[in-house]
């Protein structure tokens, strides 16, 4: 079946601009996660949703970052006033449920470059 | 979540077993050991997880020492497609569901040589 999909696959923007990154989880998965991966590093947790609500947003670096999941399926990560340091691969993952021994399935990521 | 230590890189000959070590000396009783891998330009992929017993699935085997302070991921017959960064992650769980995030280190780059 279809896995987690993310669009766009690549995004180039200028410093100060606003960007939106989209994630389509596996159908029926109730939990959705966003991670960010800088070059040479492992992924870093940003936020996770259980259904429509953000259950843990402790990884969002500052208030320029915001994510929504209004209908409990597709999620959008929004970054305002982008900075060059925001350049990274943004990964989305989903799991059937959020909890004990659940497996997170990752999408291919969106590569964001801020010039 | 407990911190893990892995070698930065390893080589393995194609067709041979790849043994990837991980130290997690501060692991506590309710923490599981998870392994994910990330092939170049792809998202991480789940491999296997365990608590204290050895585990095996179609991808790999996981050997956890009796004191649980270290573990080894074994790919029994490595192929070129197994070249990837392998992450060992220790996760706690509770019924409150507050620890669902994965905390990745920098992992081990496994290079399978022809």
| Closest alpha carbon to B107 in A103, A89, A85, A37 | A37
Q: Do A31 and B100 touch (CB under 8 A)?
A: yes
- Which are the contacts of B67, defined by CB distance < 8 A and separation ≥ 6? none
| pLDDT at position A24 over 80 | yes
Distance from C-alpha of A11 to C-alpha of A78, rounded to nearest angstrom: 13
Q: What is the pLDDT of residue A2?
A: 84
Give tens-digit pLDDT for A32-54: 999 999 999 999 999 999 899 99
Q: Which residues of chain A are within 8 Å of residue B102 when distances are taken between CB atoms?
A: 33, 35, 43, 45, 104
Q: Which residues does residue B78 pair with via DSSP β-bridges, in sequence order?
A: none
Residues lower than pLDDT 50 in chain B: none
Q: What is the DSSP letter of A86?
A: G
Neighbours of B42 (CB within 10 A): 14
- Which are the contacts of A86, defined by CB distance < 8 A and separation ≥ 6? A79, A112, A114
Q: Which of B46, B95, B97 sits opposite A55 (nearest CB)?
A: B97
DSSP letter for each residue of A25-42: PPTT--EEEEEEE-TTS-
Q: Do B43 and A101 touch (CB under 8 A)?
A: no
Are A48 and A31 in contact by the 8 Å Cβ rule? The answer is yes
3-state SS class at B106: coil
Q: What is the pLDDT of residue B59?
A: 95
User: Please, which residues 17-56 of chain B have a Cβ atom closer than 8 Å to chain A?
Assistant: 32, 41-46, 49
| pLDDT at position A1 over 80 | no
Q: Which of A55, A56, A104 sits opposite B46 (nearest CB)?
A: A104
Q: What is the pLDDT of residue B47?
A: 97
């Amino acid at each position: 079946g279809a896995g987690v999909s993310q669009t766009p696959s690549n995004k180039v923007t200028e410093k100060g601009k606003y960007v939106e990154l989209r994630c389509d989880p596996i159908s029926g998965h109730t939990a959705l996660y966003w991670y960010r991966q800088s070059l040479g590093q492992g992924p870093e947790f940003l936020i996770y949703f259980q259904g429509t609500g953000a259950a843990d947003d402790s990884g969002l670096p500052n208030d320029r970052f915001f994510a929504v999941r209004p209908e409990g399926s597709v999620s959008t990560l929004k970054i305002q006033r982008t900075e060059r340091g925001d350049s990274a691969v943004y990964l989305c993952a989903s799991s059937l449920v959020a909890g004990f021994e659940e497996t997170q399935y990752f999408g291919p990521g969106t590569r964001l470059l801020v010039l | 979540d407990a911190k893990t230590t892995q070698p930065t890189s390893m080589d393995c000959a194609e067709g041979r077993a790849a043994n990837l070590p991980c130290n997690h000396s501060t692991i506590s009783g309710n923490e599981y050991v998870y392994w994910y891998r990330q092939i170049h330009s792809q998202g991480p992929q789940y491999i296997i997880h365990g608590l204290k017993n050895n585990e095996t699935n179609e991808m790999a085997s996981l050997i956890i020492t009796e004191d649980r302070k270290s573990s080894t991921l074994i790919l029994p017959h490595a192929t070129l497609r197994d070249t990837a960064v392998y992450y060992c992650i220790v996760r706690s769980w509770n019924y409150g569901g507050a620890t669902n995030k994965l905390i990745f280190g920098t992992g081990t780059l496994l290079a399978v040589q022809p």
